[in-house]
Amino acid sequence: MLHSVRARLTMWYTAILALVLVIFGAVSYVLLAREIRAETDASLADTAHEFAAAFDPAEHTHGRDALLDFRYSDREILVLSPRAEVVMASKSRLGTVERKRIEAFVRAGGRGLHSIPGGEEGDGIRIIATPIDVLGTHYTVVVARALNEQADRLESAAHAVFFGIPVALLVAAAGGYLLARKSLAPVTVMSMKARQIGAETLDERIETGNERDELGFLAVTLNGLLERLQGSFESQRRFMADASHELRTPIAIIQGEADVALGRRDRSAADYRESIEVMQRAARKLTRIVQNLFLLARGDAGRYPMSMSRFYLGEIVADCVRGMRSVAQSRGVTITCSTAEDMVIVADEELIHRLVLNLVENAVKFTPEGGKVHVSLASEGESYAIRVADTGHGIPPSEQERIFERFYRGDRVRPTNAGGAGLGLPIARWIAEVHGGELRLDHSGPEGSEFVAVLPAEAVSS
Ligand code: ADP
């Protein structure tokens, strides 16, 4: 029962309300009791005052009439002699015990307000004793009032509080529960919906209702989460599909070449060698794709073990250019490089090497015969900028952002399969970003393209 938020809310609400009502009831009761007592005392004082005024000593013989005039249904008047004996009394319903106690009080010189405890069943009386002089004799006028009426009023008030509070709490608890159930109903609906959404139905969304209230906001937040999940789920799915597609080609080449080599008996050693070379190239491509995939997967999971060291960036750039020189020459492309020697960087040397190599390889690969590739390194404030410019055909504007997507290969490249698997630029960008830098296409057009990688001198691993 208490596992439900509805029940807990109702319980807390009822408990707090109970506390408030009990405090309110107790305070009201105390104030009411005080008020009733004050009212009684005031009425006694008024009566005594009025009686004393009317009990003119000159007309004291009419005292009894006057006294009778002062007889109120709810209070009694007694006149006591100096020896504290009752000489005059209204038609009193006071018990003898109480009368005796009044006399004892007056005899002891008691004056003013005083409470006298009741007999067997009464609630006691409240009196006021006032001295009056009648022809030089000191009498005492006592006005008394039984306290049972006040006690009854207080009892009714106590009953009202005693029965009223539980009834109010019951009504409030029922109302609170219904209210909590009504306000939390959308949460139940949301949970049911969320439970139904699986990998195959990630495009479904939770109904938001009023987006400005807390529950609507929760639904919008959950929908945002679903949106992101769907996005990453789809990109994973695409990645898997693309990866298996890319892996299929070299595997098919190896398989086909092996079938051919083994299928014919009369093959020369040169034929076998040729087949093995084809298989070797395919295997190399396969290895490269797998290595790249592994690198990206570890990068995505944030588990790539970066090995940071301090080295000269110029040396890495020059090394990559040197390594590509023979390939460039074989394609009739001139490759040049301008770097300074004292550019020290703290980074993962192997990754930086890979970044530069991917850019230079692309530049050489996509530059036609007779073209030029120029690689430069310059410092820009706290960072270094590696620029790789070529005189190739350029990248169409529609492809300029897409070339950084995984497995994306330009339309020009695709039919000839001249490029790699479309992982070179995504990996290069990831390397730049993981070092706290960036990789972008600076410009590209029919006159050529220029990529720029900006790396902070002291890599901030992101
Ligand atoms: P790959 O080189 O393996 O095809 P990349 O991710 O390195 O994959 O490059 C993606 C695409 O970007 C290439 O297929 C090509 O269309 C385009 N591209 C990259 N570098 C250049 C360049 N220097 N000149 C023209 N196009 C380029």
The one-digit pLDDT tens for each residue of the chain (462 residues) are: 567 888 888 999 999 999 999 999 999 999 999 999 999 899 889 888 888 777 765 554 544 555 555 556 677 888 888 888 877 777 666 777 777 888 888 888 888 888 888 766 567 888 899 888 877 778 888 888 888 888 888 899 899 888 999 999 999 999 999 998 888 888 888 888 888 888 788 888 888 888 888 888 889 999 999 999 998 888 888 888 888 888 998 999 999 999 988 888 888 889 899 999 999 999 999 998 898 888 888 888 888 888 999 999 999 999 999 999 999 999 999 999 998 778 999 999 999 999 999 999 999 999 999 999 999 999 988 899 999 999 999 999 999 989 999 888 887 654 444 557 889 999 999 999 999 999 999 999 999 999 999 999 886 555
Query: Would you give the DSSP letter of residue 203?
Result: T
Closest CA to 419 of 368, 375, 366: 366
Cα(287) to centroid(ligand 1), Å: 19
CATH number at residue 238: 1.10.287.130
Cα-to-centroid distance, 292 and ligand 1 (Å): 15
- Within this chain, do residues 263 and 402 fall inside the same structural domain, yes or no? no
pLDDT of residue 203: 87
Side chain identity at residue 149, one-letter code? E
266 plus 332 within the same structural domain: no
Q: Is residue 221 part of a domain?
A: yes
Task: Tell which atom from ligand 1 comes closest to the C-alpha of 420.
Answer: 3
- Residues 325 and 418 occupy one common structural domain: yes
User: Which residues sit with their C-beta closer than 6 Å to ligand 1?
Assistant: 358, 362-363, 366, 390, 392, 395, 403, 408-410, 413, 419-426, 449
Distance 253 CA to ligand 1 centre (A): 23
Q: Is there a domain that residue 313 lies in?
A: yes
Looking at residue 389, what DSSP letter applies? E
Continuous segment of H or E residues that includes residue 378: strand 372-380
Q: Are 441 and 388 a contacting pair, CB within 8 Å? A: no
DSSP letters, 321-338, are: HHHHHHHHHHTT-EEEEE
User: How far does the centroid of ligand 1 lie from the alpha carbon of residue 447, in Å?
Assistant: 16
DSSP string, 396-454: -GGGTTGGGSTT---TTTTTTT-S-SS-HHHHHHHHHHHTT-EEEEEEEETTEEEEEEE
Closest among 385, 401, 389, 462 to 431, alpha carbons compared = 462
Q: Do both 294 and 316 map to the same domain?
A: no
Which numbered atom of ligand 1 lies nearest the CA of 419?
Answer: 4
Residue 379 CB neighbours (<10 A): 14
> Would you state the pLDDT for residue 52?
78
Give a yes or no: residue 166 inside a domain.
no
Please identify, among 278, 300, 322, the residue that sits at the C-terminal boundary of a domain: 300
CA–CA dist 391, 201 (Å, integer)? 48
d(CA 19, CA 400): 69
pTM of the model: 0.61
DSSP 73: T
Clarify whether residues 74 and 14 are in a common domain.
Answer: yes
Pocket test for ligand 1, best of 288, 375, 403, 416 (most atoms within 8 A of CB): 403
State the pLDDT at residue 415: 43
- The SS3 assignment for 85 reads coil
Angle 281-284-286 (CA atoms, 0-180°, nearest 5)? 110
- Alpha carbons within 13 angstroms on the beta-carbon side of residue 22 total 7
Structural domain includes residue 168: no
320 and 383 in a single domain? The answer is yes
Q: Residue 460: what pLDDT?
A: 59
Rounded distance between C-alpha atoms, residue 231 and residue 66, angstroms: 102
Atom of ligand 1 nearest to the CA of 423: 6
Is the domain of 356 the same as that of 431?
A: yes
Do 250 and 345 sit in the same domain of this protein?
Answer: no
Pairing of strands 334-338, 372-380: parallel
Nearest to 385 by CA among 367, 359, 361, 410: 359
For residue 433, what are its two tokens?
A: 């970003």
Helix, strand or coil, per DSSP, at residue 174: helix
The domain containing residue 146 runs over which residues?
5-152
Q: How far apart are CA 144 and CA 44, in angstroms?
A: 7
**Is 281 a member of any domain?**
yes
Number of domains in the chain: 3
Residue in 394, 367, 388 with CA at minimum distance from that of residue 448: 394
User: In this structure, is residue 173 part of a structural domain?
Assistant: no
Q: Atom 14 of ligand 1 has which residue's CA nearest to it?
A: 409
Q: Domain check: are 434 and 397 in the same one?
A: yes
Residue 26 shares a structural domain with residue 131 = yes
Give yes or no: residues 365 and 290 share one domain. Answer: no
pLDDT at 64: 53
**What residues contact 134, with CB distance under 8 A and at least 6 apart?**
55, 57, 60, 63
CATH number for the domain harbouring residue 355: 3.30.565.10
